[in-house]
Amino acid sequence: MPTITLSAVAKSYGGGDYAVKDLDLTVPDGAFMCLLGPSGCGKTTTLRMIAGLEQPTAGTIAVADRVLDSVEQGLYVPPERRGMGLVFQNYALWPHLSVRDNVEFGLRMRKVPAPDRRSRAEAALKMVHVDDAIDRYPSQLSGGQQQRVALARMLAINPGVLLLDEPLSNLDAQLRLEMRAELKRIHEESGATIVFVTHDQLEALTMATDVAVMKDGELQQVAAPMDLYARPANRFVAAFVGSPPMAIVDVGPAPTGLAASLLHFVKSRAEGCAPAAVGIRPEALHLGAPHASAWREEATVEAVLPAGSSWTVRLRVLETELYALSYTPVLAAPGDMLTCWTEHMHLFGEDGGRISAWDTRGVGA
Ligand SMILES: Nc1ncnc2c1ncn2[C@@H]1O[C@H](COP(=O)(O)OP(=O)(O)OP(=O)(O)O)[C@@H](O)[C@H]1O
C-alpha cells in the first residue's frame, strides 16, 4: 500500500495569489488523512493535485517511489494512470443504470472480464452494505444509499488510494453520523490510504488517523486527532478545533482583569514565561471547589444551557465572558456566584505558536 508524499508543492491559478503554498505533507501508508480548514484554505486544490486533476505550479507529488508530478522534471501522470479512486460531494450515479451496473461501469471501462466484474461489484456493494439494493435504480435509493453506491463504485476498482472531497456534506445529520462510522469500517477493511477533505472539525476528529489543518494555503499542523486537540500548534488550530471553541485571552503587554489574573498565575508557576495569550477549553473550566494547584477566580453565572448529556454555562469572570462545559448536572442559576478553576491552560507566544514547554511546566524554571 502506498505512502503519498507532497514536497514543496504550490499551486497558483494565476494572478499572483497562491491557493496552496510550499506544502510538505506525507500521508502514511494506510492512513485516513483528513485535510481540514475553513472555506478557501486550499483543501480541494490539494486533493485535486493528488488526483492529477490540477497540475502543481511547483513541487513534487509521489506515491510510494513513483513520482506522479514533478514541475522541475516536467513530469505529469494523468488521473486515469494514478490508480486512485475519487468520490466528490456530487457523486453522480448513472440514473439509467441499476446499482450493479453503476458499480460495474468502472470495471467495464478497465476491461475487467464479465464474471470478475460481477463478483467484484457484489463484494464492493456488500462492503458498503447496499447489496440488498443491487437491482434497484439510483432514484429508488436514499441519499445515504446513493453515497454508499458511489463509494462501492470506487472500491470495486480496488484503488490503493481513495480521495474523498466532502462526500457526506449532502447528507442529513443522522446519515452523516452513520456514514462516518461506515467510512471508518470501510477504511479498516479495505486497507486503502484515504485522503478526505472536510471543513467540519468533528468529522475530521471522529474519522481520521491523521489530520492536516490548513489556513490560507498553508499547512498549520499535522497530528493524530487527540494530539491536535490536546496540543494545538498555534492559536488558529486551537480556535478552529473544538466546540464550543477554546477561549483565548490576550495577556500582553499591560493586562488587566482576567488577562492579569491568568498571567499572574502563569508567572507564579513558570518564572520567566511571557505568553502573549492564554487558552482555556470550556470542558477544562470547572465550577465548585478547586484543586489546590489550580488557577481560580470568582465567576457570575449568566446562563445555564442544558443539552441532555452536557451543560454549557456562560460565566462572567472579571468582566470577561467565558464558557464552561460540564458533563455532570449544573444546578446553578443566573446571578449565582461560583468559583471557576482550571489546571489546563494552553499558552501561545507573540507569533501565535504554542509554548510547548509550558505543557511540562519546564518554562523558565
Ligand atoms: N479553478 C480555479 N481558478 C481560480 N481560483 C481557484 C480555482 N479553484 C480554487 N481557486 C481558489 O483557490 C483558493 C483555494 O480553493 P480551494 O477550493 O482549494 O479551497 P477549499 O479549502 O477546498 O475551500 P472549500 O471548502 O470552499 O471548497 C480559493 O481562494 C479559491 O478561490
C-alpha–C-alpha distance, residues 50 and 86, integer Å: 10
Q: Whose CA is closest to atom 20 on ligand 1?
A: 40
What pLDDT shows up at residue 365? 40
Which one-letter amino acid corresponds to residue 311? W
224 and 301 both lie in a single domain: no
Q: How far is the CA of 82 from the centre of ligand 1 (A)?
A: 23
Kindly provide the ipTM of the predicted complex, given to two decimals: 0.95
What pLDDT shows up at residue 30? 94
CA 14 to ligand 1: nearest atom: 4
| pTM for this model (two decimals) | 0.89
In a domain, 290, yes or no: yes
- Give the tens place of pLDDT for each residue, 142-171: 888 888 898 888 888 878 899 999 888 777
- Total number of domains in the chain: 2
122 and 142 both lie in a single domain: yes
Which one-letter amino acid corresponds to residue 174? Q
Residue 305 and residue 313 in contact, taking contact as beta carbons nearer than 8 Å: yes
Of 237, 255, 275, the residue at which a domain comes to its end is 237
C-alpha–C-alpha distance, residues 250 and 278, integer Å: 7
Residue 330 and residue 288 in contact, taking contact as beta carbons nearer than 8 Å: no
What pLDDT shows up at residue 56? 97
Residue 350 and residue 276 in contact, taking contact as beta carbons nearer than 8 Å: yes
What pLDDT shows up at residue 225? 96
Kindly give the parts of the chain with pLDDT less than 70: 1, 89-91, 361-365
- Ligand 1 pocket, mutate which of 9, 20, 36, 44 (most atoms under 8 A from CB): 44
In a domain, 365, yes or no: no
Give me the domain span that covers residue 126.
4-237
- Ligand 1 pocket, mutate which of 12, 13, 196 (most atoms under 8 A from CB): 13
Residue-wise DSSP of 166-205: STTTTS-HHHHHHHHHHHHHHHHHH--EEEEEES-HHHHH
- Give the tens place of pLDDT for each residue, 13-66: 988 899 999 999 999 999 999 999 999 999 999 999 999 999 999 999 999 999
Ligand 1 neighbourhood includes 41 CB (under 6 angstroms): yes
What pLDDT shows up at residue 209? 97
What pLDDT shows up at residue 89? 66
